[in-house]
Amino acid sequence: MAQVAFDTPEHLREFFFAMIESLPGGILLADRQGNLLAVNQKAAQLLDLVGCSLQNKTCWGLLAQKFGLSHELAALSQTGGRLLCEMQASADTAEKRCILISRNDLQSPFLDVAGFFLSLEDVTFPALMEMHLDRRKRFAAMQVMAEAMSQELKNPLGSLELYASILKRELVGDPDNERVATRMLGAVRTMHHLLDNFVTFSGFPLPRMMELDMVAVLKKSMEALREMAGEHGILLESRIEQEEVILLGDQTLLGQLLLNLGLNAIESMPVGGSFSLGLKTLPPDREHGALVEIRVQDRGMGIAPENMQKIFDPFFSTKGLNRGLGLAISHSIAEAHHGLIEVESEPGRGATFRVLLPAGSGAATGISRGKDARADV
């Protein structure tokens, strides 16, 4: 192999910049004081710096501006320091990206050259998965209690539903009392849905994986949710961006996930409000393959910051209704499909629940549409 000769400082400089541009991660190169010396294209893309002038800027000022940081930057004051930051993915979306920043110092034993570089890595998907693993550990101890409660309630609740149905039939022709019986029956059926959540949580079934059109599953769930929302004077909006979205999943469990998220939105909304269900496919990137995104967005009171890490915990509720299982079940269903669920919220401005599931097709997996296959979970 021929040896590369650096005949001039310009050749060496050109090689140096070619080297940092070829690195897979983002690089911010700075002198001892933090003044920027070079920024590779990957870092410019991650920080949305393409086309921006970086002359006379420091890396500290740049990070403070992009991430809204101040004293947190002290974590990068020494070599080996690491800092996990969040930033908005783009100006026209509320999605967040997780950027891991690491510091490494430079020192030459031959020349009076010193400084450091900051490496930037987009770790959005792995960071979300880590949060889900933490939640999973908290679930195990609560499943025994859920199983006991579901066994105790199932028989008497079935009797209540039977008696309420008989009473409603006998009151036909008496509008006022029939209306009361209808409300009683509706309350019993709501309790049945809650009991279904208990049963699912206490002994989570092995998903029956089939190739599904998620658009059809979502539309079917929306029919039921529209009726429930209408009873509360709430409007349900559809934001489906594609005619067909294929994935491998359990139709019953995914339907329960959609129902739980929809009911959570309905309970969060005032009379006359609205919420939306959206569906689209996200293209593959370096961290993961193509994903199916389900988005449920309400315009309710939002979630307090101190509750953001608790809302997926079993039996945690801020509604005073002693429920607290719908979101925990939704988390388990997403996890059983090798996906995840996250939430974004601001108090007084509603909440957005985002479910990410691996996309799939029969051509890629060898499973024909409609054919049953047990999941390997």
Residue 227: Cβ-neighbour burial (10 angstroms; 0-12, 13-18, 19+): exposed
Side chain identity, residue 271 = V
Q: Residue 377 and residue 359: Cα distance in Å, rounded?
A: 17
Residue 212 pairs in a beta bridge with 247
pLDDT at 277 over 80: yes
pLDDT score at 180: 81
pLDDT at 332 over 60: yes
Q: Residue 235 and residue 164: Cα distance in Å, rounded?
A: 29
Q: How many other CB atoms are found less than 10 A from the CB of residue 283? A: 8
Q: Residue 4 and residue 27: Cα distance in Å, rounded?
A: 24
Return the higher-pLDDT residue of 160 and 259.
Answer: 259
Compute the average pLDDT of residues 262-279. Answer: 89
Query: What is the rounded average pLDDT for all residues in the chain?
Result: 78
3-state SS class at 222: helix
* Continuous H helices in 23-51: 41-46
Side chain identity, residue 274 = S
If pLDDT is split at 50, 70 and 90, which confidence band does 226 have?
A: confident
Residue 209 pairs in a beta bridge with 373
Query: b/e for 139-173, b at 16 or more Cβ within 10 A?
Result: beebbeebeebbeebeeebeebbeebeebbeebee
Residues 6+ apart with CB under 8 A from 74: none
* Helices and strands in the chain, H and E counts: 9, 13
3-state SS class at 354: strand
Domain ranges of the chain: 9-122, 127-374
Model confidence pLDDT, tens digit, residues 345-354: 888 889 999 9
pLDDT score at 370: 43
pLDDT at 358 over 60: yes
3-state SS class at 82: strand
Compute the average pLDDT of residues 182-189. Answer: 76
3-state SS class at 220: helix
Return the higher-pLDDT residue of 186 and 102.
Answer: 102
Percent pLDDT > 70 in the chain is 75
Return the higher-pLDDT residue of 31 and 149.
Answer: 31
Under CATH, to which class is 9-122 assigned? alpha beta
Return the higher-pLDDT residue of 194 and 127.
Answer: 194
3-state SS class at 56: coil
Model confidence pLDDT, tens digit, residues 289-321: 889 999 999 988 888 888 887 888 776 776 654
Q: What is the CATH number of domain 127-374?
A: 3.30.565.10
Q: Which segments of 214-254 are extended strands (E)?
A: 235-240, 246-249
For residue 273, the number of C-alpha atoms closer than 13 Å in the C-beta half-sphere is: 17
- The C-alpha angle 368, 370, 374, rounded to 5 degrees, equals 85
Out of 26-35, 83-92, 119-128, 314-323, pick the least confident: 314-323
Beta strands across the sheet bearing 291-298: 235-240, 274-282, 291-298, 351-358, 340-345
H/E element holding 183?
A: helix 175-202
